[in-house]
């Protein structure tokens, strides 16, 4: 944001509180990022105005700013994500297209092009599928059947359950339970579709689906990137200097890892095939070493390093400046 | 994706949102929470939608029905943008000759 909240709102420093409010509302209306989804500048204008208004709407803060006691920078809004950032992403489920039936001769082209996509996506609208309406035989007695609505469930699974696969149980509104198979390597934010486990159909129509949105909880040790697992591994000073053979955690349990002599912080060791399994291929586990000093520096160690330094001094910060 | 939020958490996080407003928006299908052990669970995207609804209500002085209607139009815009994006991606894979023909056709009707 700029240094000058008055400029962000486009008002004079002498503007009244009412004028400031009005200026903010005008910008908020014109530049709301969610009402201008294709305009990259809208977010910057909106945030600058919101931040400026947050400072100037409070007469006390405004007086302190005017007196130079505080600057505008302390007024940053907390990080905010607008809806448009989700709207076209893979998790988006609210968008809708009401079709192109008014396009005359071209309506078929659009129906052809996009009909397939619409059926594939899990849009939240469209529980009422017009293709589900069927005319009765002879056309006399109109009978319709309609597919039941999809029902959405939220499920939290642990990092390892998602990595290795698991079976979880969810409770339905009826009190019944449903077992959900979590496939090996499931990623955060994926939806599992259980066909026919949603709401009952009408007039003999099929049941809707149960859509289970899965949130994978983060793990204290493992971090996932694609199919690879990242781990930061603390090693002792002695292990770094002398090298060592140690046990480390993987998603499949403990494995042995050889730390080379002279290992250093930031060094990455790759364990092939120890990552997430996807189909026939496996990701890797990447271990980043981090040297941890001993909890206490005893006189012997101190004495050793004093002498060592006299003859072996080196500059670890070469290239930093 | 972020975590799920309970009804209480979402009201605490969205400035200006009350429980009554939330109930109205859920009843109008503006946000469709997931079911988590019988209680509603909201996503980060739901949170952003409720923030937008709340701002439509405060900045534009819309009542909840009008805010819901605007959000419905926004959803249609995103639906159209997705289709337009898909069409653009498909066109980008076409040979230059095809794209040039479409370009001149669009320019002509401009």
Q: Give the model's pLDDT for residue B108.
A: 66
For chain A, report the end-to-end CA distance as a whole number of angstroms.
Answer: 30
Q: Give the model's pLDDT for residue B107.
A: 82
Domain stop point among A184, A199, A218: A218
Q: Give the model's pLDDT for residue A87.
A: 84
| A213 lies in the same domain as A228 | no
Q: Confirm or reject contact between B59 and chain A (CB < 8 A).
A: yes
Using a CB–CB cut-off of 8 Å, the residues of A that contact B are 25, 28-29, 32, 34-35, 37-38, 80-88, 91-98, 113-114, 117, 124-125, 151-156, 170-171, 173, 188-189, 213, 215, 217
Q: Give the model's pLDDT for residue B33.
A: 93
| A172 lies in the same domain as A252 | no
Which residues of chain A, if any, have pLDDT below 70?
A: 1-2, 73-78, 90-92, 98, 115-142
- Identify the band that residue B86 occupies on the pLDDT scale cut at 50, 70 and 90: confident
Domain count, chain B: 1
The answer to whether residue B54 scores a pLDDT higher than 80 is yes
Q: Tell whether B24 is covered by a domain.
A: yes
Domain count, chain A: 3
The answer to whether residue B70 scores a pLDDT higher than 80 is yes
Kindly state the helix (H) or strand (E) to which residue A156 belongs, with its residue range: strand A151-157
pLDDT per residue over B87-104, tens digit each? Answer: 899 999 999 999 999 889
CA distance A231 to B102: 51
- CATH code of residue A164: 2.60.260.20
| A292 lies in the same domain as A269 | yes
- Report CB contact under 8 Å: A92, B45: yes
Structural domain boundaries, residue A76 = 5-87
pLDDT per residue over A192-209, tens digit each? Answer: 999 998 888 888 889 999
CA distance A291 to A24: 52
Q: Give the model's pLDDT for residue A175.
A: 81
| A208 lies in the same domain as A250 | no
Q: Tell whether B65 is covered by a domain.
A: yes
CA distance A145 to A160: 43
pLDDT per residue over A144-159, tens digit each? Answer: 888 888 889 999 999 9
pLDDT per residue over B11-34, tens digit each? Answer: 999 988 999 999 999 998 889 999
């Amino acid at each position: 944001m700029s240094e000058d909240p008055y400029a962000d709102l486009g008002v004079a420093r002498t503007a009244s509180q009412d004028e400031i409010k009005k200026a903010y509302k005008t910008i908020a209306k014109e530049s709301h990022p969610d009402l201008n989804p294709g305009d990259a500048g809208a977010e910057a204008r909106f945030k600058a105005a919101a931040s400026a208004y947050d400072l100037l709407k409070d007469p006390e803060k405004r007086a302190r700013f005017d007196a130079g006691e505080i600057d505008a920078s302390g007024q940053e809004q907390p990080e905010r994500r607008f809806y448009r950032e989700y709207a076209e992403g893979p998790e988006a489920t609210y968008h809708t297209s009401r079709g192109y039936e008014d396009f005359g001769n071209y309506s078929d082209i659009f129906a052809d092009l996009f009909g397939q996509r619409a059926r594939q996506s899990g849009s939240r609208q469209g529980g009422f599928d017009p293709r589900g309406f069927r005319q009765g035989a002879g056309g006399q007695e109109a009978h319709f059947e309609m597919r039941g609505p999809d029902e959405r469930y939220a499920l939290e699974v642990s990092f390892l359950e998602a990595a290795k696969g698991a079976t979880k149980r969810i409770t339905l509104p009826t009190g019944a339970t449903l077992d959900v198979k979590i496939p090996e390597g499931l990623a955060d934010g994926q939806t599992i579709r259980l066909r026919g486990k949603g709401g009952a159909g009408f007039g003999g129509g099929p049941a809707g689906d149960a859509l289970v949105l899965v949130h994978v909880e983060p793990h204290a040790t493992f971090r996932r990137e694609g199919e690879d697992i990242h781990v930061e591994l603390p090693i002792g000073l002695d292990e770094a200097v002398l090298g060592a053979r140690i046990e480390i955690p993987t998603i499949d349990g403990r494995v042995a890892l050889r730390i080379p002599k002279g290992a250093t912080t930031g060094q990455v060791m790759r364990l092939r095939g120890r990552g997430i399994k996807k189909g026939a291929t496996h990701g890797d586990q990447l271990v980043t070493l981090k040297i941890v000093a001993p909890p206490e520096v005893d006189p012997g160690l101190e004495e050793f390093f004093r002498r060592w330094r006299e003859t072996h001094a080196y500059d670890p910060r070469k290239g930093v400046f | 994706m972020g975590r799920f939020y309970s009804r209480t958490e979402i009201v605490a996080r969205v400035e200006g949102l009350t429980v009554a407003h939330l109930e109205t928006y859920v009843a109008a299908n503006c946000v469709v929470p997931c079911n988590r052990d019988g209680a509603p669970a909201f996503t980060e995207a739901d949170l952003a939608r409720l923030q937008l609804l709340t701002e439509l209500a405060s900045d534009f002085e819309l009542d909840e029905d009008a805010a819901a209607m605007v959000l419905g139009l926004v959803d249609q815009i995103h639906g159209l943008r997705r289709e337009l994006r898909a069409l653009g991606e498909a066109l980008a894979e076409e040979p230059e000759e095809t794209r040039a023909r479409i370009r001149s056709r669009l320019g002509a009707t401009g």
